[in-house]
Chains A and B, each alone.
Chain A
Amino acid sequence: MRVVFEKRKFMSRRALIFVPVVSFIISLFLTGILLLIFRTNPLKTYAGMFAGAFGSWSNFTETLVKAIPLMLTGLGVSIAFRLRFWNIGAEGQLTFGGVAAAWVALFWSSWLPAPLLLPVAIIVGALAGALWAGIPAGLKVGLGVDETLTTLMLNYVAILFSEGLYYGPWRDPKGFGFPGTRMFPEAAWLPRFSGRAHAGLWFAIIIGLLLWVVMNRTRWGFELKMIGKNQKAARCLGVGIGKNILLALLLSGALSGLAGACEVTAISHRLQQGLSIGYGYTAIIVAWLSQLNPIASLFVGLLMAALLVGGDQVQMTMGLPSAMGLVLQGMILFPMLAGSLFTEYRLKVIKPEKEGV
């Protein structure tokens, strides 16, 4: 008996929904085994994580706080992935967006009317994210430079650039050596609606819905889909590939930049260490797990945030390393990746007598 993969004629819709759900269950199971090895009760751990993320309204607002940047960057990364452009630079785009928003908030308040300060800071942040994604996109479209590495390297450049600023010229002179800028004027604070949960959530939800419409109901969305599936066919049909990749990547970076702008204006109110705790990398999981569906990205973003917050919580209550959340995230991806094959292929068992030598 022999088992082979046979290409399906159509993508399996059932597998598209089935695979992420089954992956999640498998990963809980495998991580459970790991926990057992370290003599930790997996059911208690998962219950602790769930309670930590959703157990009370105040816990839930913390989950939202982490979900907002994940939703925005996840949406951004999905746009690029649709074109098979491997943007793994959301981390840097987010950071650069945060730096630009901080620049507006700190230095433009003297001449910009107060009511304009926040909207301008957020817009400039998004533009900066777009610029940061535009560099690798331009290099790819113009010269054919591989984007996986350029986007990745620019993450480090952006993070070090921001470090150079808040340790150097932007450092708060009254900060008693604290590495960070001074506080933004209150006019540049993004309003919070409960706990630390802030208006960025509305941005994420509105953008998610809009993107769903754009991707599924407009000509542009259709063109992007085509470029991702088959560049040659798209070119034959007169779709401008370079221009579209560039535009899509600017949009992709803008969403991450927006996420960074929201983080500094709503959460820290200054530029400081730890602006991004790997949101840009988790965004890749969000995009992948949601199968690039913008509405699914919102829910997956929330789920990933719950893992992060839950991981932090079991660290406090059960003395487990907070990296638990990260381990679970990685674990979800493995079965998911293995399972992605089943959307395009099906297993076919060939019995020996039928093989006909």
Chain B
Amino acid sequence: MILLITSILAITLRAGTSLVYATIGEIYTERSGILNLGIEGMMLMGAVTAFSVSYHTGNLFLAVFAAMGVGALLAALHAFLSITMRANQVVSGLSITIFGSGFASFLGQRLGPESNGYYLAGLVAPRFHSVAIPGLSRLPIIGAVFDQDLLTYVVFLLIPVAWFFLYKTRYGLNLRAVGENPQTADAMGVNVSKIRYVYTVLGGMLVGLGGAHLSLSYTPGWTENITGGRGWIVIALVIFSMWNPGRAILGAIIFGGINAVQFRLQASGTTIPAAYLNMAPYLATVIVLVVMTWWETHNRKVGSPAALGVSYMREDK
């Protein structure tokens, strides 16, 4: 039983890492009032970039930075379309997903070596390995927490930092103000467009990093559709965490846990078909949304930025 819990915990954390990166990224973006539905495409691009750079240079850190750069570029495109050109954010985000998944699969068949027909699939590249922390990793049950890869340790640190930044600093206050009430923030001398650009791009970097974790650690290698819908789960996790980076870990553990439990169940030969187990996160999202909306209309504010998805135009006042 204890072994079972330990193994579920280990899988959960590993599965959760890329989700947490992307969730924190999207929380920042949405806090500024920009809805980015391009995460699935951006994670795929991050994953293919990271794997390709790792394969060609052997440098994991270069790979991670490249993935962050690609995420930032796509996010900048979304920012340009939805902030400067005031395009519809839903459609802009979706087109990033369509383009990103298409282009990632294009790159996957073009960035490989000649000997492999330019395919990246099936190749092996340097990857992040688990680094056990001496002593702590031998603890019963929670030992698994201290036997993770570097990117997972970084994510543990990132959560409190992100929380502190958002709620305890001047920058965080400005960011929240822009997402809640851009008119007032503007009147107070905050540059609404600039802040939205900065946090959309920052969010994109973290999403790209989430993608990199997939191809460099969680499922090392490149396969078509390596994200398997994680980008959409992230959008659900943002709601689940109520736009609070501190709660992002909770959601990721629950969603990662569903994955892990289902993995165990399948291994133990359950009669419930995998497809129905796989539905759980998506159904859970719908239920959470319904409950939260009900809560928000009947009690108090849940925390969604009031200006989310609404473009701001000074001249329109």
Contacts and interface: CB of A to CB of B under 8 A. Distances in A.
B77 to A, nearest CB: 7
A157 B106 contact: no
Chain B interface bracket (under 10, 10 to 19, 20 to 34, 35 or more):
35 or more
Contacts of B109: 321, 323
A178 interface: no
Contacts of A330: 41, 95-96, 98-100, 102-103
Contacts of B283: 153, 157
Contacts of B86: 341, 345
Contacts of B81: 334, 337-338
A281 B99 CA distance: 11
Contact of A326 (B98, B108, B279): B98
A161 B293 CA distance: 26
A160 B297 contact: no
B286 interface: yes
B43 interface: no
A153 B95 contact: no
A246 interface: no
Interface in B273-292: 273-276, 278-279, 282-283, 285-286, 289-290
Contacts of B229: 156
Nearest to A332: B95
A215 interface: no
Given A321-B109, A321-B110, A326-B105, A334 B273 contact: no
A284 B102 contact: no
A333 B289 contact: no
B47 interface: no
B96 A337 contact: no
Interface in A160-184: 160-161, 163-164, 167-168
B289 A146 contact: yes
A105 B109 CA distance: 40
B289 A150 contact: yes
Nearest to B104: A323
Given A143-B293, A145-B290, A160 B275 contact: yes
Nearest to B87: A337
A111 interface: no
Contact of A38 (B97, B110, B316): B110
A337 B103 contact: no
B260 interface: no
Contacts of A156: 229, 232, 279, 282
A288 interface: yes
B236 interface: yes
Per CB-CB distance, the 5 closest pairs between chain A and chain B, nearest first, are A330-B99, A326-B102, A164-B275, A333-B95, A337-B87
18 contacts: A4-B315, A5-B313, A86-B90, A143-B290, A144-B293, A148-B35, A153-B286, A160-B276, A168-B275, A321-B110, A327-B106, A329-B102, A330-B100, A333-B92, A333-B95, A337-B88, A337-B92, A338-B85
